[in-house]
A and B are shown apart, each in its own frame.
Chain A
Amino acid sequence: MNKNPRSDGITRREALHWGLAGAAGLTFFGPRRVLAKAARRPARATAVIQIWMWGGPSHLDTFDPKPEAGYDYCGPLSSATPTNVPGIRIGELLPRLAQHADKYAIIRSMTHGVNAHETASYLVQTGREPGRLVYPSVGAVVSLFKGYDHGYAGPVPPYVVLTEPQGRFSEAGFLGQRYKPFATGGDPGAARFAVEGLVAEGISDERQRRRRDLLHALDTLGKAMPGDPHFARLDQCEEQAYELMFGEARRLFDLSEEPDELREEYGRNTFGQSCLAARRLVEAGVPYVTINYKGWDTHKQHFQIMRRKLPELDQGMAALLADLAGRGLLDRTIVWWGGEFGRTPRVQWEPPWNGGRGHHGKCFSAVVAGGGFKGGCVVGASNATGEEVAARPVYPSDLIGSIYELLGIDPDGPLPNPRGLDVRLLPSPADGVASGGRLREIMAV
């Protein structure tokens, strides 16, 4: 119960209105005025594609190579690839991405110091230390500010996850169910991308419609309680569900509409085709797409896995950058690559790892491109072995704050929420949270 007058522009009345709308499950009218006031500068970006490197990718083998550190650190991946930007080099297994270095900025001084998956994921995707409240992830916040409450009327929900949600991670936090992502399920790399709930194998549209009529005819309780607000809300959800089933959404996820050459370009695998699906989604106006890319928690057989997976990453992400740029979408679309932490620079040759890399939250890399982020640059630096930040630390909240700014969302502004809590989008230095400052050096003014 906050009894203090609010200084942030949400009045008590508005807060209550929110709380009630949430409790009753009615549509949030949303504090439009608050948003308008909050946007300090016009939005450069309208969408984010987040490539979530689930498990924590090795920074040394991707965007922060250290060939001079020797075999103990590099193992068999002993060289680096020069890129199309003089002075910048990246991992030897990323030759295609090397040809697009002018499009992205590499942050080599990400840090939070946490080596546990769940805490680190929470930190990197919310900008918050774990505490009494569970905060929403970036995707949920974007869905709050750019979604249904603010005029979004796209054919699919404003926050989409390809394909699986990250278990144990409450994307929406205290914002609640309405801001959870739509997880597609299915496999974009399969012959047909069977999006869960949209594509029902073996049930024709005609039968779908027929049985919907049956359902409505048998809605005896609903008819006995006309006007009940709980049931009205369920009916509204049902309409939205059928809109998804019969509307534009199916076509949007139908990758066979893309030319074969382009599909090859992205790579005929789950990740590559997820990148292609992500492009189609942002092209259609979806503001936030997360690709949950599994398999980077490489404690064992690390180098074998790198040789298998990095070419897939290289191909898919390079094709995505090229395709977005070619369509003029990169200017308004942020591509954010990274995981919850990096991996130990020193290779663990001893048993039971026998050539693996552990968790490393002290120093790791992230990559951002498009939407107002300048390409062809490097932010910060790690030390000679990649174990420590050597210059310009970047904390998760610095990166997230920069993304919000480019989206025209005030990172220091209030975070309206159905529980009426008086909270801000991101912690401030006044909260005692470490910060290296937002990424002004790579943000277009």
Chain B
Amino acid sequence: MKILFAAMVWGLAVAAPRAPAQPVRPYERSDWPTPANEVDERVLAALRARGLGPARPCTDEVFVRRVYLDVIGTLPTADEVRQFLEDTRTGKRAALIESLLVREEFADYWSLKWCDVLRVKSEYPINLWPNAVQAYHRWVRDAIASNKPYDAFAYELLTASGSNFRVPPVNFYRAVQGQDRGAIAAAVALTFMGTRLEAWPAEPRHELEGFFSRLAFKPTAEWKEEIVCLDPTPGGPLDLSLPDGTSVHIAVGDDPRRAFAAWLVAPDNPWFARSVVNRIWAWLLGRGIIHEADDVRSDNPPAIPELLALLESELVQGGYDLRRVYRLILNSRTYQQSSIPHSTGPDAEALFAYYPVRRLDAEVLVDALCATLGSGERYSSAIPEPFTFIPEKQRTIALADGSITSPFLELFGRPARDTGLLSERNNDPTAAQRLHLLNSSHIRKKIESSPRLREIVAAGGRDRRGLVRTLYLTFLSRYPTDSELETVEQYFGSKGNRPRHAVRDLVWALINTKEFLYRH
């Protein structure tokens, strides 16, 4: 650990200078519009204990963009931004959070995240096949949209039996590389306990695998259909022990998965609630309280144990309603602080002393480009059969199949959905990505043929400042600063610059800014 921290200090913390005395416009403000909550008590206590301080409150402009991207994976439209900024009610942030939690895109976006974890893809090296992918994705999405309690969600996934087309949750077991008990138990442990079974000692690992030793997969006469069920071949009773050491007797004819699932979703289970609240925290704040969020083990303690305990109890007391956890986190000052740090270094990062900047996920980024420019992406897969064709107006975050062909998503680090590890999603920037955004025919054509841009220009008439304000609202979810307006004004006036080119260049520049590309 010492080496780790030393290396981090050495390698990472090219510390930002202390923030200036005045809030940085247009990102920071000096006063809090949000009351502190229980999350903040715990985070501030941890920061204070190390002599660190939190960042300033973020402005409404930053908040509206951030919360849309984080909660529904979607940029706010210019109108949505304007409405929010003009809203003078206190508590408007909390109201916005409530409205986002029930949007359709909430279900789309969180299905995407869960389908990463559940490894939903039609082919290679996991072969769910297209029909089952659609059935499974729909089941997951319905569960999220209807706010199915998380204990029921997990229990159904773990205990389902039947056809991959007709009983969608059985695909949980089919979306594993290998149908042996070891691979399945590892997938279960990673998904619902956030732990890597490979690192467990042999004995408890074998015991856990025993709960999945009676699983059978059999084909049917229907093409690519498969039944997942309790192995009908006679076997003796099983005596197994659960990860906490409790012994369980499985009688002949009983499905051992049920015993495991019942243990897992019990309110006092030490793994289950903790793992999922930690995941949600990591999804919203860039990093788990236990980090990495799917590497829970005794020698990897939570950075702020009291915070993790708070979230766990919120989930369990609230009947496993995940939205309560989102609500608690999103309404905290910790979530609503600026991304400009006041304290830097590995401790500040690990203790959430600021909102961390992160590049938009591949799917969210391409959707943001499509929404702002008014274009679509066409997805299809000519393998495997039956072929998949997605209508152009469907959002990328709503794609079910992780193996649908897309060079853009590949380039921008879409997870392969091979292992279910969170680290599969890679949002590190590369030169090739930069080249694509700066100069590819894909982006150039999107800008040049943008119907949205044509509308904005037509509506703007001769009012250039109005046009620039609309473009800023559309792309960056805020109005331009005076100095930005001046820069743009100069650009339009520069010699040899045709107005049509200048507008496109401005749009090109806006989508290439860090502010567009990063959650901040």
* Chain B hits for A130, CB < 8 A: 124-125, 177
Of A178, A203, A224, A234, the contact of B444 (CB 8 Å cutoff): A203
Q: Is the CB of A220 within 8 A of B515?
A: yes
Interface string of A97-129 (1 = CB under 8 A from B): 000000000000000000001110010000000
Given A197-B438, A224-B27, A238-B434 in contact, is the A167-B505 Cβ separation under 8 Å? no
Of A117, A165, A240, the contact of B434 (CB 8 Å cutoff): A240
**Number of B residues, CB within 8 Å of A:** 75
Query: Does A9 count as interface, using CB distance less than 8 angstroms?
Result: no
Q: Is the CB of B434 within 8 A of A20?
A: no
Q: A9 to B27: give the CA distance in the assembly, Å.
A: 48
Q: Is the CB of B123 within 8 A of A132?
A: no
Given A20-B12, A167-B407, A207-B505 in contact, is the A241-B438 Cβ separation under 8 Å? yes
Query: Does A295 count as interface, using CB distance less than 8 angstroms?
Result: no
* Chain A hits for B517, CB < 8 A: 234
Query: Does B269 count as interface, using CB distance less than 8 angstroms?
Result: no
Query: Does A349 count as interface, using CB distance less than 8 angstroms?
Result: no
Q: Is the CB of B435 within 8 A of A220?
A: no
Query: Does B520 count as interface, using CB distance less than 8 angstroms?
Result: yes
Q: Is the CB of B405 within 8 A of A168?
A: yes
Interface string of A13-37 (1 = CB under 8 A from B): 1001100111011100000000000
Q: Is the CB of A219 within 8 A of B428?
A: no
Of B14, B383, B428, the contact of A176 (CB 8 Å cutoff): B428
* Chain A hits for B297, CB < 8 A: 1
Which of B132-140, B143-151, B363-371, B412-420 contacts its partner?
B412-420
What residue of chain A has the Cβ atom nearest to residue B125's Cβ? A130
* Chain A hits for B505, CB < 8 A: 207, 210-211, 214
Q: Report B59 CB to chain A, min CB distance, Å.
A: 12
Of A17, A26, A133, A225, the contact of B340 (CB 8 Å cutoff): A225
Query: Does B450 count as interface, using CB distance less than 8 angstroms?
Result: no
Q: Report A295 CB to chain B, min CB distance, Å.
A: 14
Query: Does A198 count as interface, using CB distance less than 8 angstroms?
Result: yes
Query: Does A180 count as interface, using CB distance less than 8 angstroms?
Result: yes
Q: Report A148 CB to chain B, min CB distance, Å.
A: 10
Which of B1-9, B36-44, B304-312 contacts its partner?
B1-9
Q: Report A241 CB to chain B, min CB distance, Å.
A: 4
Of B24, B124, B411, the contact of A118 (CB 8 Å cutoff): B124
Of B405, B429, B432, B444, the contact of A25 (CB 8 Å cutoff): B429
Q: A26 to B514: give the CA distance in the assembly, Å.
A: 17
Q: Is the CB of A176 within 8 A of B432?
A: no
* Chain A hits for B4, CB < 8 A: 16, 20
Given A118-B124, A232-B14 in contact, is the A20-B431 Cβ separation under 8 Å? no
Interface string of A196-231 (1 = CB under 8 A from B): 111011010011101100110111111011111111
* Chain B hits for A224, CB < 8 A: 24, 27, 340
Q: A1 to B496: give the CA distance in the assembly, Å.
A: 60
Query: Does A131 count as interface, using CB distance less than 8 angstroms?
Result: yes
Given A176-B426, A419-B423 in contact, is the A217-B487 Cβ separation under 8 Å? yes
Q: A157 to B505: give the CA distance in the assembly, Å.
A: 27
Q: A203 to B488: give the CA distance in the assembly, Å.
A: 19
Q: Report B37 CB to chain A, min CB distance, Å.
A: 26
What residue of chain A has the Cβ atom nearest to residue B199's Cβ? A1
Q: Is the CB of A168 within 8 A of B124?
A: yes
Of B418, B501, B509, the contact of A134 (CB 8 Å cutoff): B418
Query: Does B350 count as interface, using CB distance less than 8 angstroms?
Result: no
Of B17, B413, B431, B496, the contact of A244 (CB 8 Å cutoff): B431
Q: Is the CB of B514 within 8 A of A182?
A: no
What residue of chain B has the Cβ atom nearest to residue A130's Cβ? B125
* Chain B hits for A241, CB < 8 A: 431-432, 434-435, 438-439
Q: Is the CB of A157 within 8 A of B432?
A: yes
* Chain A hits for B405, CB < 8 A: 167-168
* Chain A hits for B155, CB < 8 A: none
Q: Is the CB of B435 within 8 A of A200?
A: no
Interface string of A151-178 (1 = CB under 8 A from B): 0000001000000010110100000111
Query: Does B332 count as interface, using CB distance less than 8 angstroms?
Result: no
Q: Is the CB of B501 within 8 A of A207?
A: yes
Chain B, range 1-41, C-beta contacts under 8 Å to A: 3-4, 7-8, 11-17, 24, 26-27
* Chain A hits for B508, CB < 8 A: 211, 215
Of B15, B199, B429, the contact of A227 (CB 8 Å cutoff): B15
Q: Is the CB of B432 within 8 A of A13?
A: no
Query: Does A251 count as interface, using CB distance less than 8 angstroms?
Result: no
Query: Does A252 count as interface, using CB distance less than 8 angstroms?
Result: no
Q: Report A172 CB to chain B, min CB distance, Å.
A: 10
Q: A168 to B434: give the CA distance in the assembly, Å.
A: 22
Q: Report A342 CB to chain B, min CB distance, Å.
A: 20
Q: Report A67 CB to chain B, min CB distance, Å.
A: 34
What residue of chain A has the Cβ atom nearest to residue B431's Cβ? A240
What residue of chain B has the Cβ atom nearest to residue A21's Cβ? B11
* Chain A hits for B231, CB < 8 A: none
* Chain B hits for A309, CB < 8 A: none
Q: A220 to B484: give the CA distance in the assembly, Å.
A: 8
Interface string of A247-289 (1 = CB under 8 A from B): 0000000000000000000000000000000000000000000
* Chain A hits for B339, CB < 8 A: 225
Q: Is the CB of B430 within 8 A of A180?
A: yes
What residue of chain B has the Cβ atom nearest to residue A242's Cβ? B438
Query: Does A192 count as interface, using CB distance less than 8 angstroms?
Result: no
Q: Is the CB of B3 within 8 A of A132?
A: no
Of B3, B359, B407, B418, the contact of A12 (CB 8 Å cutoff): B3
Chain B, range 481-520, C-beta contacts under 8 Å to A: 481, 484, 487-488, 491, 494, 496-497, 501, 505-506, 508-510, 512-515, 517-518, 520
Chain A, range 40-72, C-beta contacts under 8 Å to B: none
Query: Does A237 count as interface, using CB distance less than 8 angstroms?
Result: yes
What residue of chain A has the Cβ atom nearest to residue B497's Cβ? A210
Query: Does B410 count as interface, using CB distance less than 8 angstroms?
Result: yes
Query: Does B441 count as interface, using CB distance less than 8 angstroms?
Result: yes
Q: A231 to B364: give the CA distance in the assembly, Å.
A: 19
Q: A323 to B26: give the CA distance in the assembly, Å.
A: 60
Q: Is the CB of A228 within 8 A of B357?
A: yes
What residue of chain B has the Cβ atom nearest to residue A213's Cβ? B491
9 residue pairs of the A-B complex, CB under 8 angstroms, read A21-B11, A134-B125, A167-B407, A183-B407, A196-B441, A197-B440, A214-B509, A219-B514, A234-B514
Given A122-B125, A157-B432, A221-B515; 5 other pairs, CB 8 A cutoff: A22-B428, A177-B433, A198-B435, A214-B487, A234-B434
The 5 A-B residue pairs with the shortest CB-CB distance, nearest first, are A240-B431, A197-B435, A25-B428, A241-B434, A241-B435
Interface residues of A (CB under 8 A from B): 1, 12-13, 16-17, 20-22, 24-26, 117-119, 122, 130-134, 157, 165, 167-168, 170, 176-178, 180, 182-183, 185, 194, 196-198, 200-201, 203, 206-208, 210-211, 214-215, 217-222, 224-234, 237-238, 240-242, 244-245, 419
